[in-house]
Amino acid sequence: MSFGGTARLAVDSTSEEADDATYTAVGAPARTVKVLPAVADRIVDGFNDTRNIASEALFEVRASEVARPRHGDELVWNGTAYRVVGSPEAKDSRRLVWRLTCVPKE
């Protein structure tokens, strides 16, 4: 079995809750990937004691399915389109999983 196959099995064994999503890298065709979603609203302090709610989502995706996620890539999960913002970070020391910060696409 190849390293990629072994890595996929390792990540799959810890991600029983993974959902299907459609990932589209800028300038590339869409493809189905497995994601672990964590959708949450975040309270952001504003000016003069105001508070804003920023809607964002975190998705974990296998590096074997998305080799180089980038700002501006799109992910559709559960019927909602999201845009990757910022620089994705590797979640684990072996770099098998990316953690993507996303916002709903407008």
- Segments making up each domain of the chain, as ranges: 3-104
Q: How far is residue 22 from each of residues 19, 44, 73, 78, measured CA to CA in Å?
A: 10, 29, 11, 10
Q: How many Cα neighbours within 13 Å face the side chain of 43? A: 4
Band of residue 10 on the pLDDT scale cut at 50, 70, 90: very low
Amino acid at 93: S
What's the pTM value of the predicted model, to 2 decimals? 0.73
For residues 105 and 4, the model is more confident at: 105
- Tokens 């999201």 locate to 82
Average pLDDT over residues 73-93: 89
Mean pLDDT across 44-70: 77
In this model, does residue 11 exceed pLDDT 60?
Answer: no
63-77 pLDDT, tens digit each:
999 989 999 999 999
Return the higher-pLDDT residue of 88 and 72: 72
Q: Please tell me the least confidently modeled range out of 39-43, 56-60, 95-99.
A: 39-43
Fold for 3-104, please state it. Thrombin, subunit H (2.40.10)
Q: Are 61 and 32 in contact (CB under 8 A)?
A: no
Q: What is the mean pLDDT of residues 26-42?
A: 85
